[in-house]
Amino acid sequence: MKRLAAALVSLAVAAGAVSAQQAEPGSARGRAPLTILQINDVYETGPVNGVGGLARVATIKKRLQQAGRTPLVLLAGDFLSTSVASTVFKGEQMIAALNAAGLDLATLGNHEFDFGDDLLIQRMKEATFQWVVANVIDTRTGRTIGDAAPYVIRTFGGMKVGIIGLCLDTSAIATTQLRHTRLLDPIETAGRYIPDMKRQGADVIVALTHLALDTDRLLAERFAQIDLIVGGHEHFPITVTEERALISKAGSDAKFVARIDLNWRPATAKTRAYVERFFELMPVSADIPDDPATAAVVKSYDDRLGPELKAVVGETAVPLDAVSVRMRAIEMPLGNLFADALREETGADVAVMNSGSIRGDRVYPAGPLTRETIITMHPFGNIVTTVQMPGRVLLEAMNAGVSKVPAAAGQFPQVSGMTMTVDAGAPAGNRVRDLKVNGRPIDPARLYVVAMPDYILKGGDDYAMFERQTVLLTPEAGPPLVNALTKYLAAHSPVHPQVEGRIVIVR
């Protein structure tokens, strides 16, 4: 019965998508009193590779208003961080652009906490839109953080819609960023508030969430009153049904806007009350012009970004050699610096950095290090992740990393927390000797936590073995690698990394 119900709802959703191509007046979709426009996981204010952009989202909303619709723009978390601009402005640029674009409601995602809860509260005060989150509590007041509403109830054409906000409560949010914040279980919190929303007459229940898909599914299973889950966290479009709820995720960076029209159909002598939902995933392409006011705000921050990149974030007491032919073949001080920053950021047992991700092909002189220099060293936007694996897999990975020695190769590992000897004359795949983790011989059966960029987690540079292991800190939850390095420099400058015998190559 559950599968049949899901299939019937899916057909209704598909029919709504088809009707989007037809004239709306007089149609079932045209009679819907509310049009939700969903975005989530938006890290850039402007287009990415020509797609997306908050100024275009603003245009979509205004066009619907001009057509007589009632659009409500919802953002399902993750937008204050991560991006190059966020490392400079700490999310200020996102709040300003979203204010200009006409965002209506937002909930919190894990990246809203990247700069700590005090700065988050400051950003919440700067917003002109409504924050909705039920399960994030300020321990100083006992109320929701930033005095956000746990839920709101609004009326559209006689239809009362309740919207509850829920944030994940997992290790994706570092406890070091939560000085006076407590995260409650989102499922238990929903159970507290949804009955209140129904008692206050909500005809339709919408959950605005930043949860993993499995948790969204569990939410729908537990609470049959939920009609729609507008979710985030995954970075690709998802549209599924669970029980009677439609779950929608619109990808990332506003490359798509999910349009969901809602209409409440009261009970009759022949039918039960039900909610009509009409779904359309709208590409945000260059065919949609920028809203001038929003574009002006985006441009103002882009214009400021250049000078801000010149800001000094740390200092090195020694030159930092990033010449590729050396970086990709032997242990290097700059490689050790990157790996140490990875390990300190995560508290992992060891860290592995593929040398091909360290760029510049130059020697950076001793002295001040600017944000621009850090981004030049690592221009890819890789994210810090952690993976749990047995020692035998870590040994396999190190053998893969040194398999092309003495030739220079991007997979050559720069490491922290471990040492090894490499027999360059041995067959590839069996070159690593005397591998030690924090001074102790590696245990093939013991589980180790390994920090790494998300590029090699996903199999880049021939590290395919990492994809099969248990991911603890996912790419969706981790901080940008340049942020981790910047944080490390702020704590330890002037730095003076050196070759320490972490990797000894015997020829």
Average pLDDT over residues 139-156: 96
**Which of 305, 340, 362 is the endpoint of a domain?**
305
Only one residue has tokens 């009707």, namely 19
How would residue 28 be classed by pLDDT, with cut points 50, 70 and 90? confident
pLDDT of residue 20 exceeding 50, the answer is no
Is residue 466 a contact partner of residue 397, using CB atoms and an 8 Å limit? Answer: yes
Greater pLDDT, 82 or 291:
291
Q: In which residue are the tokens 């009679």 written?
A: 31
Mean pLDDT computed over every residue of the chain: 91
Round to whole Å and give the CA distance between 13 and 276: 9
Amino acid identity, position 309: L
User: Which amino acid is present at 8?
Assistant: L
Average pLDDT of span 144-152 = 97
Q: Does one domain contain both 273 and 334?
A: no
E strand or H helix that includes residue 470: strand 470-473
pLDDT confidence of residue 417: 97
Encode pLDDT of 130-143 as tens digits: 999 999 999 999 99
| Strand 151-156 relative to strand 159-167, pairing | antiparallel
Pairing of strands 447-453, 181-183: unpaired
Domain boundary residue, one of 305, 331, 359:
305
No. of helices (H) and no. of strands (E), the chain: 14, 27
Please check the confidence at residue 205 and state whether its pLDDT lies above 90: yes
- Output the CA–CA distances (angstroms, integers) from residue 405 to 140, 402, 424, 504, in the order listed: 56, 5, 6, 12
Are residues 83 and 36 part of one domain?
yes
Confidence band of 171 (pLDDT split at 50, 70, 90)? low
Number of C-alpha atoms within 13 angstroms, CB side, residue 53?
A: 25
Following DSSP, what letter does each residue of 241-273 receive, concatenated? EETTEEEEEE-STTSEEEEEEEEEE---SSS--
The DSSP 8-state label assigned to residue 182 in this structure reads: E
pLDDT at site 309: 86
Checking if the pLDDT of 204 tops 80, the result is yes
Does residue 195 sit in the same domain as residue 315?
no
- DSSP H or E stretch at residue 105: strand 105-106
d(CA 460, CA 447) in angstroms, rounded, equals 22
Give tens-digit pLDDT for 238-269: 999 999 999 999 999 999 999 999 999 988 88
Q: Which of 278, 271, 273 is nearest to 246 (CA)?
A: 278
Q: Looking at 305, 323, 338, which one is the last position of a domain?
A: 305
Q: What is the pLDDT of residue 261?
A: 97
User: Does one domain contain both 349 and 387?
Assistant: yes
- Reading the block at residue 20, the tokens are 């989007």
Confidence of residue 486 (pLDDT cuts 50, 70, 90): very high
Confidence tier at 174 by pLDDT (50, 70, 90)? low
Q: With a cut of 90, say whether residue 361 has pLDDT above it.
A: no
CA distance 413 to 403: 11
Provide the whole-model pTM: 0.75
pLDDT at 332: 97
Of the CA atoms within 13 Å of residue 392, those in its CB half-sphere come to 2
Side-chain-side CA neighbours of 179 within 13 Å: the count stands at 8
Cβ-based burial of 225 (10 A; exposed 0-12, middle 13-18, buried ≥19): middle
Strand partners, 416: 351
> Per-residue DSSP letters for 85-148?
HHHHHTTHHHHHHHHHHT--EE---GGGGTT-HHHHHHHHHH-SSEEB-SSEEETTTSSBGGG-
> Positive or negative CA dihedral for 190, 132, 114, 359?
positive
CA distance 409 to 507: 17
Residue 172 has pLDDT above 90, yes or no: no
17 and 162 in a common domain:
yes
> Are residue 285 and residue 361 in the same domain, yes or no?
no
| pLDDT of 320 | 96
Whether 487 shows a pLDDT value over 70: the answer reads yes
Q: What does the pLDDT read at residue 304?
A: 92
Count of the separate structural domains present in the chain:
2
Return the H-helix or E-strand segment holding 398.
Answer: helix 391-401
Q: What is the DSSP letter of 466?
A: G
CA distance 109 to 224: 24
Asked if pLDDT for residue 166 goes beyond 80, the answer is: yes
pLDDT of residue 408: 87
What share of the chain in percent tops pLDDT 70?
A: 94
Give the distance, in angstroms, between the CA of residue 309 and the centroid of all CA atoms in the same chain.
Answer: 23
Amino acid of residue 478: G
Q: What is the CATH number of the domain that holds 498?
A: 3.90.780.10
Q: What is the pLDDT of residues 399-440, one digit of tens each?
A: 999 999 998 888 999 999 999 999 999 999 999 999 999 999
Question: Which pLDDT does position 81 carry in this prediction?
Answer: 82
Q: Containing domain of residue 169, as a range?
A: 2-305
* Nearest in space to 502 (alpha carbons), one of 337, 320, 322: 337
Q: Are residues 301 and 324 in the same domain?
A: no
- Tell me the CATH number at 177: 3.60.21.10
pLDDT, tens digit, for every residue of 56-106?
A: 999 999 999 999 999 999 999 999 987 778 878 999 999 999 999 999 999
Neighbours of 265 (CB within 10 A): 14
pLDDT given at position 24: 64
Cα distance between residue 375 and residue 174, in whole Å? 24
- Rounded mean pLDDT of 269-297? 94
Q: Are residues 251 and 218 in the same domain?
A: yes
Instruction: Specify the pLDDT at position 10.
Output: 35
- pLDDT exceeds cutoff 90 at 23: no
In this prediction, residue 25 carries a pLDDT of: 63
Shared domain for 282 and 366, answered yes or no, is no
Q: Are 248 and 258 in contact (CB under 8 A)?
A: yes
Q: What is the mean pLDDT of residues 315-322?
A: 96
Same domain, 178 and 223: yes
Same domain, 334 and 253: no
Please name the residue ranges forming H helices in 127-212.
186-199
For the chain, the maximum distance between any two Cα atoms, rounded to a whole number of angstroms, is 87
Coil, helix or strand for 62? helix
Residue 12 has pLDDT above 70, yes or no: no
144 and 183 co-located in one domain: yes
